[in-house]
């Protein structure tokens, strides 16, 4: 007989006796129900440690290795160096090295931070326990701190049950519970949760039966409390950035290895055309290309599907709505203006030109970047402003004015001009934004924009006859490639 059956039986017998005696049990039942509900809300969820993070708090055999992660060679090297302290315990002790307690992975979303943490557990033969920062926060005081304690306890229990000597605790969205203390004025629940995490990390000892390494991920490292970043807690910060061209090619090869590709497919070209894509974007790109091939009932994925998928991942699905003929022509004028200026200033920079609506855009011109670039000169930024203004100036050339479709272009151009101000690339030289006058800064930005408007007008007027021919062809074809546009431009 189970241990709870005797009390339950006695309680039920007492209730039956009281009812037989005619006692009104309504107030007692109401109070008991309220206490039971309160218990379930505040404590019942924590009676089983499996509830925190659901299945994530069970032993995880991810099967993911570092060879399965592309585009993050620097991050993998930094992480492997830290993990070797966990693997080679005897050598670590001989050299008197204190094993690292925590590693913080920082970088944009979709760059592979979670995959790196899973690969770390496989590399060190550790139990992998994962939770999200949002899972620790409740409206009741003390709940977050209790969950932190349970997380570390559970990691030790799972490792002991599995016969492992180490466990990796992965906390995603760490900024939720590790934000700067005192920034939450409503209550101290966030601060208590962070304090408990600090206590648990300080309590990690190298001579424990189960060694625990905490790996956290965030894309907002600027929000973290300084106490969590000091040595002895998160000892290492590993930057997991967007992949470069070689990294993108590696990621594409990983995701495309089990998919039938047509002979015409060039992953190198796709990698070149996907500047700024994260690993998650590239995985979605390959998957969308396979879906398109499936829809077209093809047995292999071709370049057409990949090019279509690049546009879809960047801009969204094609829309059923179609602009009116006069609006569609204005869209064609606008996008052709962007393409013309881009190709004249940066040859081979146009990848695709289309008037097919996608997402919020009625049409778009997609640029390609032939080389990775991390530093920008004044000339480069001025060219980029000119490309942004190309659409509006093209509309002005044809219609005498521009439309609201240029609003986003103006925002981008203004942001680039402000970047020039911040970096001392204007006639004002090196300035401090807060000390410089707003009117003076506005005047300089206006000068930059006006100078580029004049420049763009001259470029478009020089090729006006070709410009109008391309508009007609684009309306007929709806979508053209950069190669087609360059061939026409060379013949003009």
Q: Are 243 and 71 in contact (CB under 8 A)?
A: yes
259 and 301 in contact (C-beta within 8 Å)? yes
CB 245 within 8 A of CB 372: yes
Tokens read off for 491: 């013949």
How far apart, in whole angstroms, are the C-alpha atoms of residue 425 and residue 418? Answer: 10
To the nearest 10 degrees (0 to 180), the angle between helices 325-345 and 438-462 is 100
Instruction: Give per-residue burial for 447-463: e unless 16+ CB within 10 Å, then b.
Output: ebbeebbebbeebbeeb
CA distance 287 to 295: 12
Q: Which residue do the tokens 């000390």 mark? A: 435
- Comparing CA positions, the residue from 365, 326, 386, 374 lying closest to residue 481 is 365
Distances 188 to 141, 171, 229, 364, 411 between C-alpha atoms, Å: 8, 21, 20, 48, 40
Is 200 annotated as catalytic? Answer: no
Report the distance separating Cα 349 and Cα 369, nearest Å: 6
- Ranges of H-type helices in 23-142: 26-42, 73-87, 89-94, 113-124
Catalytic residue among 175, 288, 305, 335: 335
Give all strands of the β-sheet with 234-239 in edge-to-edge order.
Answer: 127-132, 166-172, 211-218, 102-106, 234-239
Largest CA distance in the chain: 105
Q: Is 295 exposed, middle or buried (0-12, 13-18, 19+ CB in 10 A)?
A: exposed
Cα 158 from chain centroid (whole Å) = 30
**Residue whose token pair is 């919020």:** 360
Residues in Cβ contact with 100 at an 8 Å cutoff, skipping those fewer than 6 apart = 82, 85, 213, 235, 236
Any idea which residues carry the catalytic annotation? Answer: 335
């Amino acid at each position: 007989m189970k241990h709870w059956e005797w009390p339950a039986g006695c309680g039920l017998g007492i209730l039956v006796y009281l009812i037989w005696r005619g006692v009104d049990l309504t107030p007692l039942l109401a109070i008991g129900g309220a206490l039971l509900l309160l218990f379930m809300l505040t404590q019942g969820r924590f009676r089983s440690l499996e509830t925190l993070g659901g299945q994530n708090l069970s032993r995880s055999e991810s099967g993911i290795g570092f060879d399965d992660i592309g585009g993050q060679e620097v991050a993998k090297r930094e992480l492997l160096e830290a993990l070797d302290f966990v693997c080679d315990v005897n050598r670590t002790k001989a050299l008197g090295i204190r094993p690292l307690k925590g590693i913080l992975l920082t970088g944009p979303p979709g760059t592979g931070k979670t995959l790196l943490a899973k690969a770390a557990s496989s590399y060190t033969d550790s139990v992998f326990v994962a939770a999200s920062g949002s899972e620790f926060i409740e409206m009741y005081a003390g709940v977050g701190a209790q969950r932190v304690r349970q997380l570390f306890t559970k990691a030790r229990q799972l490792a002991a049950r599995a016969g492992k000597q180490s466990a990796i605790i992965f906390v995603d969205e760490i900024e939720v519970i590790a934000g700067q203390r005192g920034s939450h004025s409503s209550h101290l629940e966030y601060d208590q949760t962070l304090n408990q995490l600090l206590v648990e990390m300080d309590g990690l000892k190298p001579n424990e039966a189960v060694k625990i390494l905490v790996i956290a991920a965030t894309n907002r490292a600027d929000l973290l409390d300084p106490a969590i970043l000091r040595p002895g807690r998160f000892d290492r910060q590993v930057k997991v950035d967007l992949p470069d061209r070689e990294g993108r090619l590696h990621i594409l090869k990983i995701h495309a290895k089990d998919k039938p590709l047509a002979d015409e497919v060039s992953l190198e070209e796709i990698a070149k055309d996907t500047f700024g894509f994260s690993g998650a974007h590239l995985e979605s790109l390959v998957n969308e290309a396979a879906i398109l091939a499936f829809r077209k009932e093809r047995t292999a994925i071709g370049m057409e599907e990949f090019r279509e998928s690049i546009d879809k991942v960047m801009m969204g699905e094609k829309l059923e709505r179609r602009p009116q003929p006069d609006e569609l022509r204005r869209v064609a004028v606008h996008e052709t203006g962007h393409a013309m200026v881009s190709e004249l200033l940066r040859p081979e920079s146009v990848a695709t030109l289309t008037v097919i609506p996608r997402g919020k855009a009625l049409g778009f011109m997609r640029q390609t970047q032939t080389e990775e670039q991390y530093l920008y000169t004044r000339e480069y930024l001025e060219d980029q402003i000119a490309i942004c203004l190309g659409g509006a100036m093209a509309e002005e050339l044809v219609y005498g004015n521009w439309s609201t479709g240029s609003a986003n272009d103006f925002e981008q151009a203004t942001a680039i001009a402000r970047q020039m101000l911040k970096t001392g690339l204007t006639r004002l030289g090196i300035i401090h934004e807060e000390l410089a006058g707003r009117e003076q800064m506005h005047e300089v930005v206006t000068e930059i924009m006006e100078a580029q408007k004049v420049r763009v007008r001259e470029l478009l007027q020089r090729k006006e006859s070709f410009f109008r021919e391309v508009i007609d062809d684009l309306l007929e074809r709806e979508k053209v490639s950069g190669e087609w546009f360059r061939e026409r431009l060379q013949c003009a």
